[in-house]
Structures are given as structure tokens and as C-alpha cells.
Amino acid sequence: MRNVYLDYSATTPVKEEVLNEMIPYFTEKFGNPSSLYDKGLESKDAITEARERVASLINASAGEVFFTAGGTESDNWAVFGSAEALKSKGNHIITTKIEHHAMLHSCEFLEKQGYEITYLSIDKDGYISLDELEKAITDKTVLISIMMVNNEIGTVQPIKEACAIAKKHGVLFHTDAVQALGNVEIDVKDLGIDLMSMSSHKIYGPKGTGALYIRKGVRIANYLHGGAQENRKRAGTENLPGIIGFGKAAELSKANFENHVKHCSELRNYLKDRIINEIPDTYVNGTMEHRHPGNLNITFKYIEGESILLLLNQFGISVSTGSACSSTSLNPSHVLTALGVPVEMIHGTIRFTVGDFTTKEDIDYVVENLKTIVSRLRELSPVNSMKGW
């Protein structure tokens, strides 16, 4: 049986070049980067190079990149670090209804501590309103956090304009760029970002490694306390192989950027066109205009996404419903809810995300199986006969 992985937004395989650079750092090059003998210095130098590679991908200076244990830690650090550092200024944070749970649940935690959080809505295309953003700012606002690219519907937000608004009002601006990294052009200087979360395993690097970009001059409180690692900002012996892998993945991502975007968007568009043209009652969620090149989010009316997922799985095809993080819960996706998709249609939604290893043959295989699965499920569906749905 063929194996087709169409869930690159959940995670990606580690590329061979990445793995090859990592391996020595598990074995002979195992020195603690804080040690002062050659074995330690060798590790320290390797981390410096990885930091430069990540910085180069986003046009930052190496000194502005702080390695973490992934996107989740970076989001938590950005929110809690800003809130703590600016608590004398205020207790209000602005974010959106469509953030990743790493951001939403961190904000909800702060809400319980007495913080006030404004959750911006999105329009039918999936964009926030800059007007709503500016009106939400008060003199108590300490942070604005708007994700660059959404993980479910792939929408790219107007980050540069949102940054300008934040700057005008003297408010810190953070963006969760985990899905954006390697998929849309990111120039932190041009965009005017203060804080930005990144993750390695979404760009063909290893899991458990990420980074927080902290613009020079921006002060936030530390999140992990202990040793003096990461310029005294993030304690804990460095995940050496992970960081080396992230650095290599960032270098490859920069070198392959245009090919990657072209390859993904062509296959994604081909998948979209085939599904929309060959399977009736299917709808794309979110705009196709400013969108993650590999993301396709489709509602199949009258049937359960969960059933589609399980049947596709029997044919060796991996996709996700709405959001990977809610795949074990029955709650309808908060992103599709914010987009205004009716709850019964949310339950019929599948997220397909293509990546560097996806081929046209993979897409054809998926569409052929999907056609059979969808028509079979619809025959069985009790709501099949419902009219005016």
C-alpha cells in the first residue's frame, strides 16, 4: 500500500542533511557548551553557527535569537515574560480568537490571574481587522500577539500593518510564526516585530527545539530560571543536537525557499481543484489569497471529517481534521467557529497540508480514494436526504 503523508503542518520528517549534521553531536561532539575546555568550546561554536543560520532566515542578528524547547515554550515565554516585565504598566493583552492553543491557553491562564484579554475576531476570509485591533488598545495594554500564519486555515495576517499600529501606541508586538517560518517571507526588521516564536519540527528539523526572537532593546522577564545559558535569558543545558538540526533546517529552508513555495502551492492548488471539481458539495475554508502555500482546508458537506480521516488512514493516507491538537476532542475547531463555519460543517472538515516530499502521484492517489470514501459515507449518512442544508 502507498503511504501518503498530507499533514506537514502537524510536523515534518527530519531531512537527511539535517540528521547527518546532528548525529556527531549525540556521540563524539557531546561536550557541554558551557564547559571551558576544547570539547565545550566546539559545542559552543556549533550553537553560534546554528544561531546565525536561524537569524539569517528571518533577517535578525544572531544575538536576537534565543533557543527554546519549541514553539509552545516560545509562545509561553513571550506572553508570560511580557506580562511580568510590564505589570506596572497594565494588565491588558490583545490576541486573536484563532491562535494556537499554546497562545490561547497561556492567555486563559493569565485571565485567571486577573489579566484582561481581548480576543480579536476574523472576517469570512480569515483576516483580523486592523480597525478592531487599534480600537482595542488601551493605556493598560502591554502586549499584542497575532499569529503570522494560521495552522488550520493557513491565512496570512497583515503583520506589518498590525506592528505599525502597536508601535504607534507604544505596545510590544509578538507573533507566533511557527507556521510562517519557511513558508512566507519573514524579515523581522522590515515587519517591525518585537517578539517572534519559531519551531524546528515544522521546517524539517527535529522536534523539541525552537526559538524566540527578541528584538535588541526589548526586555521581557525570563521564563526558565537556572544557569546562564542563552545569554542569561533561558536556563538549561542546551539541546545541542536539536539546535544543530534546527540551524541546518533553517539554512536549507532559506536556500530552498522559492522552490519549496512553488512546489507546495502547485500541488496544493492541484489537490484543491480536483476535490472541488470532482467531489460535489465541497467548500474551501479561508481565503486562497494570502495563504500558507501547502495548506488546504475543506468541508465535505453531510459527513463526518473523523470518518473520512479514519478511512483515508486505511489507505495509508495521513490528514487531520480541523486541528491536530483537537483531534482527540469533539469540540468544534475554534478557528472554523471564528470563521463563521456552521458547527455541522465544521464536523465535516479536513485539513490537508502538502510538503517537500509530496508528489503529484500522491495527490492523485488521495483524490481517487477520497472520491470513493466520500460517496460511500454520503450513501450511509442519515442526513443525506436533508434538503436546504
Residues at the contact surface with ligand PLP, assessed by CB under 6 A: 70-72, 75, 100, 102, 147, 151, 176, 178-179, 199, 201-202, 210
Per DSSP, 175 falls in state E
The distance of closest approach from Cβ of residue 310 to ligand PLP in the complex, given in angstroms and rounded to an integer, is 23
Nearer to ligand PLP, 53 or 201 (CB): 201
Helices and strands (H and E) in the chain: how many: 14, 13
d(CA 215, CA 61): 9
Place of cell 519540527: 201
Give dist(CA 257, CA 255) in Å, integer. Answer: 6
Cα distances (Å, whole numbers) of residue 230 to 213, 220, 371: 12, 14, 51
Is residue 250 classed as helix, strand or coil in its secondary structure? helix
Q: Are strands 210-214 and 65-68 parallel, antiparallel or unpaired?
A: antiparallel
Catalytically annotated residue among 107, 163, 264, 325: 325
Q: Which residue is nearest to ligand PLP (CB)?
A: 71
325 is catalytic: yes
Identify which of residues 75 and 238 has a Cβ nearer to ligand PLP in the complex: 75
- Do residues 93 and 107 touch, judged by C-beta distance below 8 A? yes
CB-nearer residue toward ligand PLP: 50 or 147:
147
Q: Which is nearer to ligand PLP, 71 or 293 (CB)?
A: 71
Helices (H), the chain: 16-22, 38-57, 71-85, 101-112, 130-136, 159-168, 188-191, 229-232, 240-255, 257-278, 305-314, 334-338, 343-346, 360-380
Kindly write down the DSSP assignment for every residue of 21-35, as one continuous string: HHGGGTTTT---TT-
Comparing CB distances to ligand PLP, the nearer of 151 and 265 is 151
CB 202 to ligand PLP: min, Å: 6
Q: Which positions are annotated as active-site residues?
A: 325
